[in-house]
Amino acid sequence: MREGPKPLALRNTTAAANKKLLLVHGYCAGENEFPVSQFTDAVQFKDFKKSRSNDEFARMIMDFATKQGITSFGIVGHSQGGLAATTLHSFYFSGLEDATGGSLIQSVGSPYGGSGLAGSLASIGGIFGVGCGSNTDLSRDGAKRWGATIPSNFAKDVDFYTTVYGSGKGYCAWGANTVLDTPNDGTTEIKWASLAGANNKGTKTDWCHTTGMQYANQCTDAARNAILNANAAR
């Protein structure tokens, strides 16, 4: 765990500033579901149909920014993307430390306390239609262990947003609802969506975790994306 200012040797003092907003997808995503056209100076991180630990995911985000020549960045993360971004901020020096002008990390639908689906191959495959496997960091016990490592002075830089199903069409995903605590977004349960020390920005109804559920994909909410864009550091 690191404290203090970013070491001089890790600062980019020669290259022209290249400030961006990184849009980061979640576990086993088949695409980056944040529409890049709804954000300013934004780029999409892409590592599709993979199961990564939070730490590996964080290092991949850092390497992606470096290879793109991005000198400072904020992050908007979906699902596990929020946990990976928080891991990056807590344990590594990166362009996050050089970002200014707003929120360093904003997440949508991130299961900071784990998801009831994470330990079940059958549940994950049934909802997402892919075979990425179980993910220990997204399980209840794994997320609890992970959360205990995140210092409050880093968690305070995280703003998190959640969504749940509405009353008109029923649950986001009926099969998932046999496993998940209610209410939920089809993957992330409100009961387990909080990160200690972070900033709860509220819950919207009639939105689900991903495409193909009963309500629209939470990443495509243009009204919230406008807020995320306006509030983001770069």
Q: Render each residue's pLDDT in the chain as its tens digit; 234 residues.
A: 455 556 655 555 555 789 999 999 999 899 999 999 999 999 999 999 999 999 999 999 999 999 999 999 999 999 999 999 999 999 999 999 999 999 999 999 999 999 988 765 444 544 444 468 778 899 999 999 999 999 999 999 999 999 999 988 889 988 888 889 999 999 999 999 999 999 999 999 999 999 999 999 999 999 999 999 999 999
Q: State how far the Cα of 184 lies from the Cα of 176, in Å rounded to an integer.
A: 9
Contact residues for 23 (Cβ-Cβ < 8 A; gap 6+): 32, 34, 36, 39, 42, 43, 44, 45, 76
CB 49 within 8 A of CB 28: yes
Q: State how far the Cα of 128 lies from the Cα of 177, in Å rounded to an integer.
A: 14
- Name the fold adopted by 19-231: Rossmann fold (3.40.50)
Q: State how far the Cα of 211 lies from the Cα of 221, in Å rounded to an integer.
A: 12
Q: State how far the Cα of 82 lies from the Cα of 110, in Å rounded to an integer.
A: 6
Q: How many CB atoms lie within 10 A of CB 88?
A: 29
Q: Which one, of 210, 222, 114, lies nearest residue 165 by Cα? A: 210
Report the predicted TM-score, pTM, of the whole model to 2 decimal places.
0.91
CB 192 within 8 A of CB 143: yes
Contact residues for 226 (Cβ-Cβ < 8 A; gap 6+): 38
